[in-house]
Amino acid sequence: MISYLSKYRLFGLPVNAFFLCLAMLFSGVTIASSTHNQSLVSKNMSQVEGLGHGRMTYWGFTLYDAKLYASKELKGGIALDIQYLRKFEAKALVKQTLDELKNLGVSDTQRAEWADPLAKAFKTVQVGDSITAIKKPEGSTQFFYNGQFVSEISGESFSQAFFGIWLHPKTSAPQLRKVLLGQYCPRVNLEAYCHD
């Protein structure tokens, strides 16, 4: 499950993994800034509320800041904003996303169907870049790169699985899940994730 860690390089060598933070051996999660891209989320969701936020580290190296948002309206949607503190290649992002979906029980057939849309959604990120995923009320997920719309993937099943990478009880990032959901469960729009 974490074989991609062998591709991780430090001290000037290439970094070739997107979800290092989703490995099961984390060095910790710390509180991060809660304001990044809040205006973007507010423009795309009604009655939005910022929930948990944290900074993911791996063996003392910071990887990214993550912030969870949710609408106060019934079926109003949720959003996850990630601001990167290291460079990650787009290909690694797609591959590890599909691997994490597999770990959550998504079938090979379904992952193959989502591979091309995910390749369109993700770009290589540099330090300071952000990717924001917003689940719309109708169930589709919109992706933004540094605040600019990139693509949209339709389907409630995709949205639930994708956000489950961070929020599902079986996530490989349980510490991050804990700080994102925090004391906000149970609540509207997070019903699929507010259980153990």
* CATH code of 85's domain: 3.50.70.10
Counted domains in the chain: 1
For the cut 80, the answer to whether the pLDDT of residue 169 exceeds it is yes
- Classify residue 124: in a domain, yes or no: yes
* Residue 36 binned pLDDT confidence (cut-offs 50, 70, 90): low
- Classify residue 11: in a domain, yes or no: no
Q: How far is CA 186 from the centre of its chain?
A: 20
Q: Is 92 helix (H, G, I), strand (E, B) or coil?
A: helix
**Segments forming the whole domain that contains residue 36:** 25-184
For the cut 70, the answer to whether the pLDDT of residue 1 exceeds it is no
Give me the mean pLDDT over the 70-78 stretch: 92
- Classify residue 100: in a domain, yes or no: yes
Strands (E) located in 120-180:
130-135, 141-145, 148-153
